Amino acid sequence: MHHSWRQLLFAHWPVPAQALQRVLPHAVLVDTFEGHAYLSVVSFRIHDVHLRGWPPVPGLTDFPEVNLRTYVKIDGEPGVWFLSLRCPNRLAMAVARPWFLLPYEHANLWLETAGEVTTCLSSIFQAEYCPIGPPAFAQPDSLDAWLTERYCYFTRDSRGALYRCQIDHQPWPLQPAIVNIISNTLGKRFGVQLEGPPLRMQYVEKLDALIWPIRPVRRRSAAAPQLAPLAPAAPPVPRQSGRASLALDDRRRQQVARSYAP
Protein backbone atom coordinates (compact mmCIF):
# COMPACT_ATOMS: atom_id res chain seq x y z
CA MET A 1 0.00 0.00 0.00
CA HIS A 2 1.26 3.47 -0.93
CA HIS A 3 1.23 6.39 1.52
CA SER A 4 2.45 9.97 1.23
CA TRP A 5 3.33 11.54 4.60
CA ARG A 6 3.37 15.36 4.76
CA GLN A 7 4.01 18.23 7.21
CA LEU A 8 5.39 15.71 9.66
CA LEU A 9 6.76 16.41 13.13
CA PHE A 10 9.04 14.07 15.06
CA ALA A 11 9.25 14.99 18.76
CA HIS A 12 11.44 12.68 20.88
CA TRP A 13 11.74 12.32 24.68
CA PRO A 14 14.20 10.06 26.60
CA VAL A 15 12.40 7.86 29.12
CA PRO A 16 13.44 5.05 31.50
CA ALA A 17 13.56 1.73 29.66
CA GLN A 18 11.89 -0.11 32.55
CA ALA A 19 8.82 2.12 32.26
CA LEU A 20 8.36 1.08 28.64
CA GLN A 21 9.24 -2.59 29.09
CA ARG A 22 6.25 -2.94 31.42
CA VAL A 23 3.80 -2.11 28.62
CA LEU A 24 5.39 -4.33 25.95
CA PRO A 25 4.88 -8.04 25.27
CA HIS A 26 7.31 -10.43 26.94
CA ALA A 27 9.25 -11.20 23.74
CA VAL A 28 9.71 -7.54 22.72
CA LEU A 29 12.79 -5.79 24.11
CA VAL A 30 13.02 -2.04 24.52
CA ASP A 31 15.83 -0.69 22.34
CA THR A 32 18.14 1.97 23.79
CA PHE A 33 20.61 4.55 22.51
CA GLU A 34 23.50 5.31 24.87
CA GLY A 35 21.45 3.93 27.76
CA HIS A 36 18.21 5.77 27.06
CA ALA A 37 14.91 4.51 25.69
CA TYR A 38 12.76 6.97 23.76
CA LEU A 39 9.13 7.83 23.21
CA SER A 40 8.23 9.84 20.13
CA VAL A 41 5.14 11.78 19.14
CA VAL A 42 4.62 11.92 15.38
CA SER A 43 2.10 14.38 13.95
CA PHE A 44 1.44 14.48 10.21
CA ARG A 45 -1.02 14.37 7.34
CA ILE A 46 -1.55 11.24 5.23
CA HIS A 47 -2.15 11.72 1.49
CA ASP A 48 -2.67 9.50 -1.52
CA VAL A 49 -3.41 6.14 0.12
CA HIS A 50 -3.86 3.39 -2.46
CA LEU A 51 -2.90 -0.16 -3.33
CA ARG A 52 -0.05 -0.50 -5.81
CA GLY A 53 -1.36 -0.13 -9.35
CA TRP A 54 -4.74 1.15 -8.16
CA PRO A 55 -6.08 4.72 -7.97
CA PRO A 56 -6.41 6.50 -4.60
CA VAL A 57 -9.31 5.30 -2.47
CA PRO A 58 -12.07 7.89 -1.89
CA GLY A 59 -12.11 8.86 1.77
CA LEU A 60 -8.48 7.79 2.30
CA THR A 61 -6.67 10.52 0.41
CA ASP A 62 -6.19 13.23 3.01
CA PHE A 63 -6.46 13.00 6.80
CA PRO A 64 -4.34 13.84 9.87
CA GLU A 65 -2.81 11.45 12.38
CA VAL A 66 -0.94 11.63 15.68
CA ASN A 67 0.82 8.57 16.98
CA LEU A 68 2.95 7.62 19.97
CA ARG A 69 5.75 5.18 19.28
CA THR A 70 8.80 3.65 20.87
CA TYR A 71 11.80 1.66 19.65
CA VAL A 72 12.22 -2.06 20.14
CA LYS A 73 14.08 -5.18 19.08
CA ILE A 74 12.92 -8.72 18.45
CA ASP A 75 15.73 -11.26 18.14
CA GLY A 76 18.14 -8.39 17.54
CA GLU A 77 16.17 -6.77 14.70
CA PRO A 78 15.32 -3.09 15.38
CA GLY A 79 11.87 -1.75 14.66
CA VAL A 80 9.10 0.56 15.82
CA TRP A 81 6.32 -0.31 18.27
CA PHE A 82 3.19 1.86 18.16
CA LEU A 83 1.57 2.43 21.53
CA SER A 84 -1.29 4.46 20.12
CA LEU A 85 -2.47 5.96 16.84
CA ARG A 86 -5.19 8.60 16.69
CA CYS A 87 -7.04 9.89 13.63
CA PRO A 88 -10.51 11.21 12.73
CA ASN A 89 -10.97 8.93 9.70
CA ARG A 90 -13.11 5.93 10.61
CA LEU A 91 -12.69 4.33 7.18
CA ALA A 92 -8.89 4.40 7.54
CA MET A 93 -9.21 2.83 10.98
CA ALA A 94 -11.49 0.09 9.63
CA VAL A 95 -8.79 -0.82 7.09
CA ALA A 96 -5.71 -0.44 9.29
CA ARG A 97 -6.92 -2.43 12.30
CA PRO A 98 -7.46 -5.81 10.57
CA TRP A 99 -4.97 -5.42 7.69
CA PHE A 100 -2.05 -4.01 9.66
CA LEU A 101 -3.00 -4.79 13.28
CA LEU A 102 -2.47 -1.18 14.31
CA PRO A 103 -4.13 0.07 17.53
CA TYR A 104 -6.00 2.96 15.93
CA GLU A 105 -8.46 5.00 17.97
CA HIS A 106 -10.85 7.64 16.78
CA ALA A 107 -10.04 11.20 17.80
CA ASN A 108 -11.24 14.62 16.76
CA LEU A 109 -8.02 15.87 15.22
CA TRP A 110 -7.29 18.97 13.17
CA LEU A 111 -4.03 19.67 11.31
CA GLU A 112 -3.53 22.82 9.26
CA THR A 113 -0.47 24.51 7.72
CA ALA A 114 -0.30 28.26 7.17
CA GLY A 115 2.96 29.48 5.69
CA GLU A 116 5.72 27.61 7.53
CA VAL A 117 3.72 26.86 10.68
CA THR A 118 1.67 23.69 11.12
CA THR A 119 -0.91 23.57 13.92
CA CYS A 120 -2.16 20.31 15.41
CA LEU A 121 -5.23 20.42 17.64
CA SER A 122 -6.78 17.50 19.53
CA SER A 123 -7.79 16.60 23.06
CA ILE A 124 -4.58 14.62 23.64
CA PHE A 125 -1.96 16.63 21.73
CA GLN A 126 -1.85 20.29 20.76
CA ALA A 127 1.19 21.90 19.21
CA GLU A 128 2.53 24.36 16.66
CA TYR A 129 5.67 23.51 14.73
CA CYS A 130 7.74 24.54 11.75
CA PRO A 131 11.13 23.89 10.14
CA ILE A 132 14.02 26.25 10.78
CA GLY A 133 16.72 24.83 8.52
CA PRO A 134 17.34 22.95 5.28
CA PRO A 135 16.68 19.20 4.92
CA ALA A 136 19.50 16.70 5.40
CA PHE A 137 19.86 12.96 5.88
CA ALA A 138 20.77 11.74 9.37
CA GLN A 139 24.42 10.90 9.93
CA PRO A 140 25.12 7.16 10.32
CA ASP A 141 25.25 5.98 13.94
CA SER A 142 23.69 9.26 15.15
CA LEU A 143 20.70 9.56 17.46
CA ASP A 144 18.67 11.01 14.59
CA ALA A 145 19.39 7.95 12.44
CA TRP A 146 18.62 5.59 15.33
CA LEU A 147 15.26 7.29 15.89
CA THR A 148 14.09 7.58 12.29
CA GLU A 149 15.83 5.09 9.98
CA ARG A 150 13.76 2.06 10.94
CA TYR A 151 12.10 0.21 8.13
CA CYS A 152 9.63 -2.03 9.93
CA TYR A 153 7.22 -2.04 12.82
CA PHE A 154 6.18 -4.89 15.08
CA THR A 155 2.69 -5.51 16.39
CA ARG A 156 0.54 -8.31 17.81
CA ASP A 157 -2.90 -9.78 17.31
CA SER A 158 -5.62 -10.39 19.90
CA ARG A 159 -4.04 -13.75 20.84
CA GLY A 160 -0.62 -12.19 21.45
CA ALA A 161 1.07 -13.53 18.27
CA LEU A 162 3.74 -11.14 16.98
CA TYR A 163 3.81 -9.74 13.45
CA ARG A 164 6.26 -7.67 11.42
CA CYS A 165 5.43 -5.08 8.74
CA GLN A 166 8.06 -3.95 6.22
CA ILE A 167 8.01 -0.26 5.24
CA ASP A 168 10.11 0.94 2.31
CA HIS A 169 10.98 4.57 1.68
CA GLN A 170 13.90 6.86 0.93
CA PRO A 171 15.95 8.17 3.89
CA TRP A 172 14.12 10.86 5.83
CA PRO A 173 14.96 14.43 4.63
CA LEU A 174 15.05 15.80 8.18
CA GLN A 175 14.87 19.51 8.91
CA PRO A 176 15.62 20.97 12.33
CA ALA A 177 12.36 22.22 13.81
CA ILE A 178 10.96 24.37 16.55
CA VAL A 179 7.80 23.30 18.37
CA ASN A 180 5.49 24.89 20.90
CA ILE A 181 3.64 22.11 22.72
CA ILE A 182 0.48 23.40 24.34
CA SER A 183 -0.73 20.10 25.80
CA ASN A 184 0.39 16.47 25.56
CA THR A 185 -1.22 13.60 27.44
CA LEU A 186 -0.38 10.80 25.01
CA GLY A 187 1.92 9.03 27.47
CA LYS A 188 -0.42 9.19 30.47
CA ARG A 189 -2.22 5.91 29.73
CA PHE A 190 1.14 4.11 29.72
CA GLY A 191 2.39 5.60 32.98
CA VAL A 192 4.85 7.99 31.31
CA GLN A 193 4.69 11.77 31.54
CA LEU A 194 6.28 13.54 28.59
CA GLU A 195 7.24 16.65 30.51
CA GLY A 196 9.22 19.58 29.19
CA PRO A 197 10.24 20.17 25.59
CA PRO A 198 11.40 17.25 23.45
CA LEU A 199 15.10 16.44 23.37
CA ARG A 200 15.03 16.28 19.56
CA MET A 201 12.61 17.76 17.04
CA GLN A 202 12.55 17.23 13.28
CA TYR A 203 10.27 18.30 10.45
CA VAL A 204 9.67 16.49 7.15
CA GLU A 205 7.75 18.20 4.38
CA LYS A 206 6.98 15.06 2.36
CA LEU A 207 7.97 11.40 2.12
CA ASP A 208 6.39 8.62 0.07
CA ALA A 209 6.32 5.08 1.47
CA LEU A 210 5.26 1.55 0.59
CA ILE A 211 3.69 -0.49 3.40
CA TRP A 212 3.80 -4.24 2.80
CA PRO A 213 1.45 -6.90 4.22
CA ILE A 214 2.21 -8.03 7.76
CA ARG A 215 4.00 -11.34 8.30
CA PRO A 216 4.24 -13.52 11.44
CA VAL A 217 7.44 -13.14 13.45
CA ARG A 218 9.35 -16.40 13.61
CA ARG A 219 11.27 -16.33 16.85
CA ARG A 220 14.83 -17.65 16.97
CA SER A 221 14.79 -17.79 20.76
CA ALA A 222 12.20 -17.57 23.50
CA ALA A 223 14.67 -16.28 26.08
CA ALA A 224 13.38 -13.56 28.36
CA PRO A 225 14.58 -10.02 27.53
CA GLN A 226 17.28 -8.57 29.75
CA LEU A 227 17.64 -4.83 30.26
CA ALA A 228 21.06 -3.28 30.56
CA PRO A 229 21.69 -0.80 33.40
CA LEU A 230 20.54 2.67 32.49
CA ALA A 231 22.48 5.88 32.53
CA PRO A 232 20.67 8.61 34.48
CA ALA A 233 18.09 10.42 32.38
CA ALA A 234 18.86 13.95 31.29
CA PRO A 235 17.13 16.54 33.52
CA PRO A 236 14.04 18.04 31.92
CA VAL A 237 14.31 21.56 30.57
CA PRO A 238 11.65 23.94 31.90
CA ARG A 239 9.04 24.81 29.33
CA GLN A 240 6.85 27.83 28.95
CA SER A 241 3.18 27.38 29.73
CA GLY A 242 0.23 28.77 27.85
CA ARG A 243 -0.50 29.10 24.16
CA ALA A 244 2.42 31.27 23.16
CA SER A 245 3.21 31.81 19.49
CA LEU A 246 6.28 30.21 17.97
CA ALA A 247 9.27 32.46 18.63
CA LEU A 248 10.99 32.19 15.26
CA ASP A 249 13.48 34.97 15.80
CA ASP A 250 17.03 34.80 14.45
CA ARG A 251 18.57 34.07 17.85
CA ARG A 252 16.31 31.05 18.45
CA ARG A 253 16.91 29.73 14.94
CA GLN A 254 20.66 29.91 15.50
CA GLN A 255 20.44 28.15 18.90
CA VAL A 256 18.49 25.22 17.53
CA ALA A 257 20.55 25.02 14.34
CA ARG A 258 23.76 24.80 16.46
CA SER A 259 22.34 21.82 18.35
CA TYR A 260 22.07 19.94 15.04
CA ALA A 261 25.54 20.88 13.82
CA PRO A 262 27.93 17.89 13.44
Residue range 137-158, pLDDT digits in tens: 999 999 999 999 999 999 999 9
Q: Give residue 79's pLDDT.
A: 98
With contact defined as beta carbons under 8 Å apart, do 9 and 64 qualify? no
Residue range 4-23, pLDDT digits in tens: 999 999 999 999 999 999 99
Low-confidence ranges of the chain (pLDDT < 70): 221-262
Q: Give residue 254's pLDDT.
A: 54
**CATH number of the structural domain 2-259:** 2.40.400.10
- Count CB-CB contacts under 10 A for residue 72: 24
Q: Give residue 246's pLDDT.
A: 59
Enter the pTM of the model: 0.84
Domain assignments of the chain as residue spans, ordered by start: 2-259
Q: Give residue 224's pLDDT.
A: 45
Q: By three-state DSSP, how is residue 20 classified?
A: helix
* d(C-alpha 237, C-alpha 94), whole Å: 40
Q: Give residue 256's pLDDT.
A: 43
